[in-house]
Chains A and B, each alone.
Chain A
Amino acid sequence: MFRARGVGVLLLCFLLAGCREQADITVSDSQSIVDDKNAGSPTTGDWLIIHALSDPEQLNPLTSNDAGSSEINGYIFESLLSRDPRTLELKPLLAEARPEISQDKLSYTFKIRKNARFQDGRPVTGEDVLFSVKAIKCSLVNAPFLRVYFNSVVDAQLVDPYTIRFFIREPYFLNESVLGGVIVMPRHYYDRENLLHSVTVRQLAQDPTKLPAEVKKFADVFNRNYNRHPLGSGPYKFSHWRTGSETELTRDTDYWGNGKEGIDQPHVDRLKFRVVNNVDAALTRLKSGSLDYMESLQPVQVVRGTSSERFERQFKKYEYYAPTYTYIGWNNDHPIFGDKRVRQAMTYLTNRKQIVDTVLFGLGEVVDSPIYFFRPEYDKTLVSYPFDPAKALALLDEAGWKDTDGDGVLDKVIDGNRVPLRFEIKINAGNTVRESVALVLMDELNKHGIAASVRQLDWTIFLNDVKNHQFDAVVLGWAMSTAEPDAYQVWHSSQAANKGSNAISYKNPRVDEILEQYRQEFDPQKRIGLYKEFQQILHDEQPYTFLHVRKTVSAVHRRFQGVEVFPDGLKPIDWWVPLAQQKYANSIAAQ
């Protein structure tokens, strides 16, 4: 019996501890209801606790390749150019102005700001930019996926200590954006011994086995030792990273951009990226006050979990369309889907409006082309394919698909064999939206004598099948950027070979021509014209059935002011909290 009592006492202790802590948090929450109109002018202070689904892979901007890392690195590092969040135009950041481009469009010259500083106080110079380009181009640095963008950069040279000139292999309108995106890393920190000094960019692009020993030494150290202690020129300094639980950044009070026109001004003293692996647990944490900002709520959370009065009082939801789209890809090399009438019929049989209304709870828009819905390049004159089974069956009939053997499944004689209209839709397991889309479609098709089935696969296995063209149909999504589109990688016929992104093997000579011409066209209006034609061809041929762009809904605690919705989403760097509402008191300003 004495043992049982021991357990009881232990339990009691825990419970008491629980109650006490709970009281602390609810008190500070009830104070944080803010009247939007009484906000006043931006002020510094307070913390912003951001939800992260997992740890960043690493905080070296060159060797990481995941969204979590780039989000955090975006506060620590800066590039030569950035984009205006409203107009999406390029604007100078570490560069003094946009680059000077030569007549032949093969050389770009950037002048670097003389007043920009790294977080350790040392100035940002051309040497640092040159070092950063060398690090990207060095084939021993573990950044193969980033290096792909810089394939056409042949050389880079310093004209004077604050001017750098890049040389490009062939004209391409996005080169300014690529070069402007070079993340500037301090040479004195990332290459202490100046090991890359004696090699040129041209030499670094060579066969890795021929590189000198000091380059190997540099790459070894760079790949291993700089992944957890980043140092850049951005508004936030790295503070700590507790593995699996949080990464913290603090506002750099000596930020070179403080008070400068056209540079984002940071306000919040600390950014904490708090890891919550499970989205349901994350929503609970948000409600309990231990998260301030949760990006991209699940559709069901938007509709059911976040509409209570209590939630509305504490949080505000913001909506925007992230530049992505979901589609059904038909394998154009497949005997069934080689015929454009069959693909059109499939689109007529897909009730896209209903999918948005039921699967996405209305949080999305039907789209008809691969271009981001809100770009000027998107062709708004396309007439959406309606849900029309009768028309679909007529098209299938015209294409020769009839139920001749009376087994309830349409069939057709192809190359002397009678083939039933039977195929499989592959999806990746764990994505409920794609799963529902596939099941809704399967249901509809089965009603009309089309024997479609659905198969779920683990993501990596699925990816492998898609790249090797081992599928009849897939439900998948593409993520783009809000900047100028370039559809070459997905739609050019050359990208169908060698596991390229044109996994459905779409081939059209006129489309190839347009895509090639578009890349070398520097006049935005002419580019729009070219892409209108491209979209009309796709619309007619329906190589994909384009489904929808999802509405992203994010929740932010109401004490934050200055929250604005941009095409790209929200920008926490602009947010601030009025002094009276600040929740976390021990700010860096007070120290």
Chain B
Amino acid sequence: MTGYLIKRLLLMVPTFIGITLIGFLIMRLAPGDPAELRAAGGLGAAAGAGISVEKRGSVDEAIAQWRAQYGLDKPLHVQYLVWLKNIGTLNFGESFKDNQSVWSKIAERLPVTIKLNFWSILVVYLVAIPLGVYSATHPNSFGDQVTTLAAFILFAVPLVWAATMAIVFICGGDFYYLFPPGGLESIDFSDNWPIWRKLEDRAWHIFLPVVLLSYDGFAGLSRYMRASMLEVLAQDYVQVARAKGLPEKRVILKHVLRNSLIPQVTILASILPGLIGGSVIIETIFSIPGLGQLGFESVLARDYPTVLALFTVSALLTLTGILISDLLLAAVDPRIVFGRRQQ
């Protein structure tokens, strides 16, 4: 096992370097220039009225100065090597936007995104497994058909649309006011509030984003759960268990459920990157100050150091996710042994 772990960890290094190289190239070969963007007065000019007249003019020298300051005047491969060398020491550089260290910007926002994703994964599994179990134990019943239809509809609904509709209809516009239309705390939130009131305020704010972030996941996962459960139900040993007179509840929970959980563990590895992608949309629409919002703003502003750092962090998370789910698989499935061939 230890040998396997070391091998896997070592394998992650070239994979990781490959990912960062591709990420670096995608970011840097994409057209657009952060210096020009700043000279034109930022992104407001794109959406709003236009480029500020006074901020233009003989700014070429200014742009050259700015580029030199951030090392953007060097050849691309030199920039990559410098960057790679720096992340070796966990130095992600400084943001173009405010000269703050990118690491501190990420550290500031990471807890929010982790919180959001933790609750989402929890909701995904808490909803998907009972739903899947229900569907599989009552196959083709009315309830199964309703959950199947609902799952497919949810699976097909684009997140951007669902989030916008939620804001327009249930967040206090002209219709219903059930949830706040964004943010993590109320305007008058104060540290002097009693703890239960703080918790309540935060729960109220995070509820809708968590539901939106997880519906796609639980809709999909409940289908997997149903399928794998039905497969297990058809196995001979289930017949045997029933034949020897075990109560149905025990058959389902002890024998069937445990065995059909194995594939769900593997899926965890693929849900994680999906949730990170989903947080970009949800955090931007709900103005939640997490990594997704930071990433979105940084891509638009071509804030290379920040974008690359975020890319690196999510690549690492995904690689770790895959590793963890492989290890978990061994834990739940005694048939899988890593490291040496079974005799």
Binding site for B on A (CB under 8 A): 1, 3-4, 6-7, 13-15, 17-22, 25-26, 47, 49, 53-55, 57-58, 63-68, 139, 142, 144-145, 147-149, 151, 223-224, 227-228, 242-245, 272, 274-278, 280-281, 283-285, 287-290, 296, 308, 310, 322, 324-326, 428, 430-431, 458-461, 463-464, 467, 476-481, 487, 489-490, 495, 498-501, 550, 584, 586
User: Is A495 a contact of B57 with CB atoms below 8 Å?
Assistant: yes
> Measured between C-beta atoms, what is the minimum distance from B60 to chain A in Å?
6
User: Is B50 a contact of A287 with CB atoms below 8 Å?
Assistant: no
- What residues of A have a CB within 8 angstroms of the CB of B45 in the complex? 459, 477, 479
* Chain A binder among B124-132, B220-228, B324-332, B335-343: B124-132
**B100 within 8 Å of A (CB atoms):** yes
A243 to B111, CA, bound (A): 13
A243 to B184, CA, bound (A): 12
Determine the residue in chain B with the shortest Cβ distance to A57: B97
User: Is A145 a contact of B287 with CB atoms below 8 Å?
Assistant: no
User: Which of A17, A284, A308, A458 is in CB contact (< 8 Å) with B32?
Assistant: A458
A463 to B34, CA, bound (A): 11
- What residues of A have a CB within 8 angstroms of the CB of B181 in the complex? 276, 281, 284-285, 288, 290
> Measured between C-beta atoms, what is the minimum distance from A14 to chain B in Å?
5
**B212 within 8 Å of A (CB atoms):** no
With a 10 A CB-CB cut-off, give which of B53, B69, B180 has the most chain A CB atoms.
B53
Given A17-B204, A277-B284, A479-B53, residue A287 in contact with residue B129 (CB < 8 A): no
> Measured between C-beta atoms, what is the minimum distance from A143 to chain B in Å?
9
- What residues of A have a CB within 8 angstroms of the CB of B164 in the complex? 278, 280
- What residues of B have a CB within 8 angstroms of the CB of A489 in the complex? 53-54, 56-57
User: Is A245 a contact of B53 with CB atoms below 8 Å?
Assistant: no
A550 to B48, CA, bound (A): 10
User: Is B65 a contact of A476 with CB atoms below 8 Å?
Assistant: no
- What residues of B have a CB within 8 angstroms of the CB of A17 in the complex? 200-201, 203-204, 207
Q: Which 6 A-B pairs have the closest CB atoms?
A: A244-B289, A477-B50, A288-B172, A460-B32, A324-B49, A144-B62
User: Which of B46, B69, B168, B200 is in CB contact (< 8 Å) with A459?
Assistant: B46
What would 18 A/B residue contacts be, using CB atoms closer than 8 Å?
A19-B178, A57-B42, A63-B99, A227-B99, A243-B108, A244-B288, A245-B185, A275-B287, A278-B285, A280-B167, A281-B171, A308-B174, A322-B49, A428-B46, A480-B52, A490-B56, A500-B56, A501-B56
User: Is A6 a contact of B126 with CB atoms below 8 Å?
Assistant: yes
Mark out the residues of chain B between 83 and 133 whose CB falls within 8 Å of any chain A CB in the assembled complex. Answer: 94, 97-100, 105, 108-109, 126-127, 129-130
- What residues of B have a CB within 8 angstroms of the CB of A285 in the complex? 171-172, 181-182
User: Is A467 a contact of B36 with CB atoms below 8 Å?
Assistant: yes
- What residues of A have a CB within 8 angstroms of the CB of B36 in the complex? 460, 463-464, 467
Per-residue contact bits, chain B 160-187, to A (CB 8 Å; 1 contact, 0 not): 0000100110011110011111111111
- What residues of B have a CB within 8 angstroms of the CB of A148 in the complex? 57-59, 62
With a 10 A CB-CB cut-off, give which of B52, B126, B127, B172 has the most chain A CB atoms.
B172
A64 to B179, CA, bound (A): 35
User: Is A288 a contact of B180 with CB atoms below 8 Å?
Assistant: yes
- What residues of B have a CB within 8 angstroms of the CB of A500 in the complex? 56-58
User: Is B130 a contact of A7 with CB atoms below 8 Å?
Assistant: yes
> Measured between C-beta atoms, what is the minimum distance from A139 to chain B in Å?
7
**B43 within 8 Å of A (CB atoms):** yes
Main secondary structure of the interface of A (DSSP, over half): mixed
User: Is A58 a contact of B284 with CB atoms below 8 Å?
Assistant: no
User: Is A290 a contact of B180 with CB atoms below 8 Å?
Assistant: yes
Mark out the residues of chain B between 238 and 262 whose CB falls within 8 Å of any chain A CB in the assembled complex. Answer: none
Given A18-B178, A18-B179, A287-B173, residue A277 in contact with residue B55 (CB < 8 A): no
Number of A-B contacts (CB under 8 A): 258
Determine the residue in chain B with the shortest Cβ distance to A143: B62
- What residues of A have a CB within 8 angstroms of the CB of B63 in the complex? 144
- What residues of A have a CB within 8 angstroms of the CB of B204 in the complex? 14, 17-18, 21
User: Is B109 a contact of A244 with CB atoms below 8 Å?
Assistant: yes
User: Is B126 a contact of A57 with CB atoms below 8 Å?
Assistant: no
- What residues of B have a CB within 8 angstroms of the CB of A481 in the complex? 53-54
Mark out the residues of chain B between 25 and 73 whose CB falls within 8 Å of any chain A CB in the assembled complex. Answer: 31-34, 36-63, 65-66, 69
A278 to B204, CA, bound (A): 20
A223 to B58, CA, bound (A): 23
- What residues of B have a CB within 8 angstroms of the CB of A499 in the complex? 60
**B286 within 8 Å of A (CB atoms):** yes
- What residues of B have a CB within 8 angstroms of the CB of A55 in the complex? 297
A582 to B58, CA, bound (A): 49
A3 to B133, CA, bound (A): 11
User: Is B177 a contact of A281 with CB atoms below 8 Å?
Assistant: no
> Measured between C-beta atoms, what is the minimum distance from A291 to chain B in Å?
9
Binding site for A on B (CB under 8 A): 31-34, 36-63, 65-66, 69, 94, 97-100, 105, 108-109, 126-127, 129-130, 134, 164, 167-168, 171-174, 177-188, 190, 200-201, 203-204, 207, 284-290, 293-294, 296-297, 300, 302
User: Which of B52, B296, B297 is in CB contact (< 8 Å) with A479?
Assistant: B52
A282 to B310, CA, bound (A): 27
User: Which of B99, B108, B167 is in CB contact (< 8 Å) with A224?
Assistant: B99
User: Is B42 a contact of A67 with CB atoms below 8 Å?
Assistant: yes
Given A149-B54, A281-B285, A287-B174, residue A7 in contact with residue B126 (CB < 8 A): yes
User: Is A281 a contact of B203 with CB atoms below 8 Å?
Assistant: no
- What residues of A have a CB within 8 angstroms of the CB of B290 in the complex? 244
User: Is A22 a contact of B177 with CB atoms below 8 Å?
Assistant: yes
User: Which of B54, B100, B129, B287 is in CB contact (< 8 Å) with A281?
Assistant: B287
User: Is A464 a contact of B182 with CB atoms below 8 Å?
Assistant: no
> Measured between C-beta atoms, what is the minimum distance from B307 to chain A in Å?
13
- What residues of A have a CB within 8 angstroms of the CB of B54 in the complex? 149, 480-481, 489
User: Is B293 a contact of A277 with CB atoms below 8 Å?
Assistant: yes
A6 to B123, CA, bound (A): 11
Determine the residue in chain A with the shortest Cβ distance to B296: A277
User: Is A288 a contact of B177 with CB atoms below 8 Å?
Assistant: yes
- What residues of B have a CB within 8 angstroms of the CB of A65 in the complex? 38-39, 41-42, 55
- What residues of B have a CB within 8 angstroms of the CB of A4 in the complex? 130, 134
Given A7-B130, A310-B174, A464-B33, residue A430 in contact with residue B56 (CB < 8 A): no
User: Which of B37, B207, B285, B289 is in CB contact (< 8 Å) with A463?
Assistant: B37
With a 10 A CB-CB cut-off, give which of A144, A463, A501 has the most chain B CB atoms.
A144
A282 to B167, CA, bound (A): 10
> Measured between C-beta atoms, what is the minimum distance from A249 to chain B in Å?
15
Determine the residue in chain B with the shortest Cβ distance to A466: B51
- What residues of B have a CB within 8 angstroms of the CB of A243 in the complex? 105, 108-109, 289
- What residues of A have a CB within 8 angstroms of the CB of B126 in the complex? 3, 6-7
A287 to B289, CA, bound (A): 22
User: Is B98 a contact of A464 with CB atoms below 8 Å?
Assistant: no
User: Is A21 a contact of B173 with CB atoms below 8 Å?
Assistant: no
- What residues of B have a CB within 8 angstroms of the CB of A139 in the complex? 65
User: Which of B49, B99, B134, B203 is in CB contact (< 8 Å) with A13?
Assistant: B203
- What residues of A have a CB within 8 angstroms of the CB of B37 in the complex? 459-460, 463
User: Is A461 a contact of B31 with CB atoms below 8 Å?
Assistant: yes
Determine the residue in chain B with the shortest Cβ distance to A21: B204
User: Is A145 a contact of B55 with CB atoms below 8 Å?
Assistant: yes
User: Is A276 a contact of B62 with CB atoms below 8 Å?
Assistant: no
> Measured between C-beta atoms, what is the minimum distance from A266 to chain B in Å?
20
User: Is B65 a contact of A274 with CB atoms below 8 Å?
Assistant: no
A144 to B36, CA, bound (A): 12
With a 10 A CB-CB cut-off, give which of B37, B187, B294, B300 has the most chain A CB atoms.
B187
User: Is A283 a contact of B173 with CB atoms below 8 Å?
Assistant: yes
Given A284-B167, A464-B32, residue A274 in contact with residue B51 (CB < 8 A): no
A192 to B227, CA, bound (A): 69
- What residues of B have a CB within 8 angstroms of the CB of A310 in the complex? 174
> Measured between C-beta atoms, what is the minimum distance from B66 to chain A in Å?
5
User: Is B100 a contact of A227 with CB atoms below 8 Å?
Assistant: yes
- What residues of B have a CB within 8 angstroms of the CB of A289 in the complex? 172
User: Which of B31, B38, B59, B184 is in CB contact (< 8 Å) with A458?
Assistant: B31
> Measured between C-beta atoms, what is the minimum distance from B103 to chain A in Å?
14
User: Which of B50, B130, B168 is in CB contact (< 8 Å) with A326?
Assistant: B50
